[in-house]
Amino acid sequence: MDHLDEALERLADTGPEFHGGLSNHGPMVAEALVRLGAPGVVPGWISAYLPQLEERPGTRERITDWRDALGDKRRVGDWTAYFTMALAGSSWRDVLARWWPRLAPGLAAGATHGVIRTAHAVRALADQESEPRRAELAHALAYWAAAYAELPDRPITAGVRTMEQAVAVLPILELAPRGLIVDHLGNLKDLPEFVDAISALRPPSDVQADLAELSRVFSGVFLSQGRHAPIAFTHAVTMPVAVSSILGHLPQETWRPTYDRVWQMSAALYSGYAYQGVVEPLPSADPPAPEDLAGQAAETGEEHAIKLTEAVLRGHAATGDPLFLHTAARAIAVLGR
């Protein structure tokens, strides 16, 4: 058994959240460490992480109408049973295609960890099918469904602004963040100009390329403002990269609405957490090499540093833009302390 399958088996009986709403990063970090070329680090990292986690919740009642159970965290055990059965009777690709358009409006679930965990699970299955990996997809989809949360209004990109221009004029919620990310973002309902700012972005001409640009721009946001709100700005990058990494496994008719939701979510993290932030200049020196950054991220043992580094190294591999490497270096410095 490889390191990832072993890790997923060890994590299978843990819940998706712990300590009052923090997301279980175990499966995501295990997959990211393998991608970073550090599979040997996985067993020890899991051993150190497991004591923090809580047991997987049991079932309450069978889900018959999925709409009634959507967004009910008390029923995460029921959702796990539901998706376990669905994956036993269909290919994982069919289940993903059926459920993606149902769940995509709720990208805020678990502060974006519902969709991120699902993407990690899909990537693992696409590489190699195994029972632990199928079980992990069931857990990931169950968390997304149980924690399902929508942002205000339905996003439609219909303007003329480029991504950089659109981010530059995003309104800022003048409220100091408190509590969980998803709860704080609920305050965006009191920022009516946010909806207009979202629609001001021009529509995508090539969803894959425009998602890459979105990831690049928000990597720059992390690089310039990451010290201020590192966790929120991390998710504004890891979430779009996660979606982009599995876009080819999704029905093409879902690409455009998914792009609009991803933009809305990353923008919401910026609008919700940029308040009182200080903007730093971008680095002028050459960035470290990708292989050095991968090793440094693994050495930190910090879940967000590992996941963000894996995400931006993916962006650098696709585009060659050194900004992604600088973002990894900043993530390691800020998050890995």
What type of residue sits at position 160?
V
Tell me: the pLDDT tens digits for 29-62? 999 999 999 999 999 999 999 999 999 999 999 9
- pLDDT score of 337 more than 80: no
The secondary structure element, H or E, covering residue 18 is strand 17-18
- State both tokens at 118: 């699902």
Q: How far is CA 258 from the centre of its chain?
A: 13
Instruction: Give dist(CA 319, CA 313) in Å, integer.
Output: 10
Closest CA to 139 of 238, 17, 308: 17
Percent of the chain having pLDDT more than 70? Answer: 100
Q: Which residue has the tokens 């971008």?
A: 282
Q: Bigger pLDDT: 154 or 193?
A: 193
Q: Bigger pLDDT: 84 or 152?
A: 84
Tell me: the pLDDT tens digits for 226-239? 999 999 999 999 99
Closest CA to 132 of 10, 256, 296, 304: 10
Pairing of strands 17-18, 22-23: antiparallel
Res. 1 pLDDT band, cuts 50 70 90: low
Looking only at Cα atoms, what is the longest distance across the chain? 58
Contact 78, 59 (CB under 8 A): yes
The domain limits of the chain are 3-146, 151-337
Beta bridge partners of 107: 149
According to the model, what pLDDT value does residue 154 have? 87
Q: Average pLDDT for residues 116-134, to the nearest whole number?
A: 98
Transcribe 152-181 into DSSP letters: SS-----S-B-HHHHHHT-----S---S-H
Q: Which residue has the tokens 């950054």?
A: 293
- State both tokens at 293: 């950054």
Average pLDDT, the chain: 97
Tell me: the pLDDT tens digits for 276-286? 999 999 999 99
Tell me: the pLDDT tens digits for 157-209? 999 999 999 999 999 999 999 999 999 999 999 999 999 999 999 999 999 99
Closest CA to 157 of 288, 75, 260, 55: 260
